[in-house]
Structure 1
């Protein structure tokens, strides 16, 4: 994929980050204050949510409303929102992939648009590597490791309740669909790669398996799974893919230098792609690209920007 050769289309129709500005979704553009790296973003009603670095390995969640008021929640490392921006869930947990060391314990938070008082929370003092995966109906899905071995378990939690529920049908989850019906289960991870299965959450039935790609998400209708290489190591991923969830067959594959893939709707994916300056610290050109799963055509959803951070929201 050569981003310079693509035509420019409409802007992404989901929340996304351009520089330090959260755009898209329902609501006006909002700038995230500070200078720390922004890890992920989303929207809760018209407010912007952002997980940002505050030190070498410390993080926090910023909630910024349209007037510029900011609320901070310490140690948050993961964030999910509902597609209609009516609710958000996030988890405070120390993760080793952010440069520090893992630490025991975590907290899952949940809040809905317009709610008064503090967000609902679930303290998990014995858990490791807590990460939220989806907010479905009244349930938050998250994964956690009980003994620091890397063997994730999937849990569901109804905000306000004191205990979560173990979802026994899905082992080592990497993604849960927005409707909670389908999940990706990582069956194997070693120095050469990984294998993932697409699983029916209710029954545990395995639809398909791939050892070529790591699944990170699903289209709203769950017909298509998206992801990247089974083993990622380096500045960017050289391939992004869309798979048939039920068969594992490759629907579309894109080659280039990519930082992220996400889903816009049932027929379109968005990809953060790098053009010139790959691997360099300056003069790096990036754009968000929209690709049609039916026609395989792609277009730029943003202009080509130089040394500007781009990110797809939850």
Structure 2
């Protein structure tokens, strides 16, 4: 069921999850935080008043950078390349040994409560392509492989033409949205989905976060359209 959206004219309510515009982490809880430096930001999240970003310097170098509520960098974990937070913003998990490990075995899964240090660490010395998927309450879900293999590119750099919302209990299709290029999707609450929606397929396009309502299918701008880099939080 392809949904025909009305014109995306006006920016509506503030985005309830973290997102990055340029090098500033916005949305969700806390105040906007500027991420220092020029290293590419791969993922971002708010953990109460702490800001976490996965930054990728090269195809073999990534790290998790932790900033406090003032924006000061208070910690850094080399090798981390995936990040996820719980829906309520209370817990975060991140892992090393994923897509930037170049097929080498071994990694760690970190669990963190509000604060600037992880509260638990799980070593996975024989795992390949280790990646956190979700945090629900205090449970961390992650994936790994038994051997090295090629990585899925998630439609990069041009995105996907279709995003769908499914019933979590039955798997039934509830709604779907189509466009020339959709480069990310995050649930904002039980009835709203945030889409990273560029205005063209090309990587140099302008983009905005668009809020779509699952029950009605209608979509509205959640942020202004801008040529600055845009990333949805984890």
How high is the TM-score relative to the length of structure 1? 0.66
Q: Indicate the residue corresponding to 1:108 in structure 2.
A: 109
Structure with more contact order per residue of length (Cα contacts < 8 Å, sep ≥ 6): 2
**Which whole-Å deviations, capped at 9, do the CAs of 1:168-224 have from their partners, x for residues lacking one?**
xxxxxxxxxxxxxxxxxxxxx9xxxxxxxxxxxxxxxxxxxxxxxxxxxxxxxxxxx
The residue aligned with 2:20 is: 17
User: Contact (CA 8 Å) 1:4, 1:275: kept in 2 or not?
Assistant: no
The 8 Å contact of residues 128 and 145 in structure 2, kept in 1 or not, is answered as yes
- 1:304 maps to 225
Distance in 2 of aligned mates of 1:33 and 1:268: 31
Counterpart CA distance in 1 for 2:9 and 2:36 is 32
Q: Give the alignment partner of residue 243 of structure 1, picking from 156, 161, 166.
A: 166
User: How many Å separate the matches in 2 of 1:234 and 1:84?
Assistant: 30
1:212 maps to none
Query: Compared with structure 1, are the counterparts of its residues 272 and 280 closer, same or farther at alpha carbon in structure 2 (3 Å cutoff)?
Result: closer
Whether 2:38 is the aligned partner of 1:38: answer: no
Structure possessing the higher radius of gyration over alpha carbons: 1
Normalising by structure 2, we get a TM-score of 0.87
Residue 91 (structure 1) aligned to one of 95, 98, 111: 95
* In 2, Cα distance between equivalents of 1:68 and 1:233: 30
| 2:185 paired residue number | 261
**Residues in 1 aligned to 2:194 and 2:118: alpha-carbon distance in whole angstroms:** 34
Deviation, structure 1 residue 143 = 1.3
- In 1, are the aligned partners of 2:30 and 2:48 still within 8 Å (CA)? yes
- Secondary structure of 2:195's aligned partner: strand
3-state SS of the aligned residue for 1:54?
Answer: strand
- Extract unaligned runs of 5+ from structure 1: 151-188, 190-230
With over 3 angstroms needed to count, the CA separation of the structure-2 counterparts of 1:118 and 1:238, relative to structure 1, is closer
Local SS of the residue matching 2:184: strand
Q: List gaps (5 residues or longer) in structure 2.
A: none
Note if contact 2:12-2:222 (Cα within 8 Å) is conserved in structure 1. Answer: yes
**Number of aligned positions between the proteins:** 227
| CA RMSD after TM alignment | 2.4
Q: How does 1:120-199 map to 2 (within 5 A)?
A: 120-148=120-148
Q: Which residue of 2 aligns with 1:289?
A: 210
Query: Quick check: 292-301 or 141-150, which moved more?
Result: 141-150
Q: How many Å separate the matches in 2 of 1:54 and 1:258?
A: 25
